[in-house]
Amino acid sequence: MINPKLGAAALSLETSGLLSISLMTEGSDWALLIFLLQHAGASALLALFVWRFLPGKYRHPRLRVLALLFNFSFFIPVLGLLGMLAAVFLSAYWRRTMVAQPFARLILPEFVLSLREPDARFSLGCIKSRLAQSAIATPQRLQALLTLQGMPARVSNPMLQDMLGDASDDIRLVAYGLLDSREKKINAQIHLELVKLKTAKGSNIRLIGLRYLAELYWEQVYTELVQGDLRAHALRQSLSYTNDALLLAPLDTGLWFLKGRILLEMKIHDDAYQIFGMAIAHGFPESRVLPYIVEIAFNRRDYRTVRDLLSRISILQVTPRVKGAIHFWVGKPENSGDSCANESGV
């Protein structure tokens, strides 16, 4: 901080010292002493004046820096001051360049492919058989169980349900935890949608809510999260929301298809058959509906229809699993034998 008073005081003290020595011509020791005292006072003030100019990091240790500045102006009267001012400006300049370059150059780090490899990798596959064999050590079975976390719920949920009756406490509890968190997630969504639906205005918004609720309840059944009476309850809920949604969107083929599947799960075959017909009539791809109609025909023991329908399906693109059924009922279709063979090997 510039303090003009300090500078002015120093200057006037120095001037008066110089004046007094030039006026006292007879050169006595006293005159010299008076001059030196005044010069010392001026130097001290000057040192303080310049010290305040210095950037913070050069000000310490305070006494020593002040002593150095004092010495400069005391022993080298005019040049000392000039030198000090030059130093102040230089230090200010240096600081600026340092601020301007906060980044340092570093050596490129070595590229590390991966950290320490885990000790033992689980061999691929065989999860189900490992889980089923209680002779295998619990930690290994626990690993297999944790693998299920990454698998689709429809595949892993029934396996987790089986593990609830396992002899090992750890396995049971982890399986329970996994199932519980999945169930919690769906239930929380259902609850949220119910709350939203209560306040929903406008048929579009209502339709979205109703459809989502129908799908969520269906999801519980589809992923086998619920059994017994609760499964029946979920099916009833899903059906009821699907019906409500269909009232708002009677041309929605996806909803008709969902309704058909719910009725099929409820084993109301006649209605399901009729609804699947509606889905096709509204434009739903026949190839996706036919396998379910085949299932209805099979449940009615109408095996002729099963064969007829499957031969119709056989020319369409179908999943490997359906291909196996076609193979059984219709005979080995041309150019698809390989995939069946593969399928049976899985």
Partner 1 sequence: MKQPRAERADIGLLLEGTFPYVSGGVSSWVNQIIRGFPQFSFALVFIGSQPEDYGEMKYALPDNVVHLETHYLYNQHAAPQIRPVHGNPATFGEIKRLHEYFRFSDLHPDGTETFRKIVPELSAHGVAGLETFLYSHESWEYIKENYRKYCTDPSFVDYFWTVRSMHAPIWMLAEIAGNFIPVRAYHTVSTGYAGLLGALLKEKTGRPLILSEHGIYTKERKIDLFQAQWIKDNRNVFQRDPTEISYFRQLWIRFFQAIGKRCYDSADHIVALYEANRLRQIEDGAPPQITRNIPNGINVPRFSPLRAQRPVLPPPILCLIGRVVPIKDVKTYIRAMRTVVNRLPGAQGWIAGPEDEDPGYAEECRELAEGLGLSENIKFLGFQQMTELLPRIGLVVLSSISEGLPLVLLEGFAAGVPAVSTDVGSCRQLIYGLDQEDQSFGAAGRVVGIADPQALAEAALELLTEGASWRAASEAGVRRVEAYYTQEQMFASYKSIYDEATTWRE
Q: Does 164 bind partner 1 (CB under 8 A)?
A: yes
Helix residue spans in the chain (DSSP H): 4-23, 29-53, 62-75, 77-100, 127-132, 138-147, 153-163, 169-199, 203-222, 228-248, 253-265, 269-281, 286-299, 303-313, 320-330, 337-345
- Closest separation between CB of residue 140 and partner 1, Å? 9
Q: How far is CA 334 from CA 117, 228, 248, in A?
A: 48, 42, 45
Residue 59 corresponds to which amino acid? R
- Closest separation between CB of residue 328 and partner 1, Å? 33
Q: Does 74 bind partner 1 (CB under 8 A)?
A: no
Q: Does 179 bind partner 1 (CB under 8 A)?
A: yes
Q: How far is CA 253 from CA 205, 244, 282, in A?
A: 18, 14, 6
**Count of positions on this chain that bind partner 1 (CB under 8 A):** 34
- Closest separation between CB of residue 219 and partner 1, Å? 15
Among 4, 27, 102, 165, which residue sits at the site for partner 1 (rule: CB under 8 A)? 165
Q: Does 173 bind partner 1 (CB under 8 A)?
A: yes
Instruction: Say what angle helices 203-222 and 228-248 make with each other, to 10 degrees.
Output: 150
CA–CA separation, 213 and 258 (whole Å): 12
Residue span binding partner 1 (CB under 8 A) among the ranges 7-15, 162-170, 272-280, 317-325: 162-170
Q: Does 71 bind partner 1 (CB under 8 A)?
A: no
Among 116, 198, 201, 301, which residue sits at the site for partner 1 (rule: CB under 8 A)? 116
**What residues line the site for partner 1 (CB under 8 A)?**
114-118, 121-122, 143-144, 146-147, 149-150, 164-165, 169-170, 172-174, 176-177, 179-181, 184, 187, 190-191, 227-230, 233
